Amino acid sequence: MARKTRNTRQKGIIEGRLEDFDSFFTAEELLANARKKSKKIGIATIYRFLKEAENEGKLHSYLCGRRRVYSMEESSHCHFTCSKCGRSGHFRLKDISSIRASVEGKICHFQLDVTGVCGKCLLPRKH
């Protein structure tokens, strides 16, 4: 019984910390933030919380390189990678209506990996 109360309290603390992130965050970042409030919170609790929140549809998760990132707000995560210089960055998709129209059903979240040539590599080379 006491254990259950403690877990509920920790869950409340973690839930409150979510507001500090307006974009993507990792489990480690959430842990560091939650530990400012309670030193007793460990990474296992964070992972359990994230899994639960994801199942409930409160959070969306994405693979960013080799890291997993989470977001409450963003329902898409987009990468652009330059095939010439290998640089990769994020971009925001402003209009997802065409993706919505292409899917039969309701979209929860998605991620995109776009490859091309970046603006810097497109510029004529100076000699």
By the criterion CB under 5 A, which residues form the site for Zn ion? Answer: 60, 64, 82, 84-85, 108-109, 118, 121
Closest distance to Zn ion from the beta carbon of 92 (Å)? 12
CB of 25 or CB of 46, closer to Zn ion: 25
- Rounded to whole angstroms, how far apart are CA atoms 20 and 70? 13
- Rounded to whole angstroms, how far apart are CA atoms 22 and 85? 30
Closest distance to Zn ion from the beta carbon of 29 (Å)? 14
CB of 22 or CB of 36, closer to Zn ion: 22
CB of 11 or CB of 109, closer to Zn ion: 109
CA geometry: angle 38, 63, 112, nearest 5 deg? 135
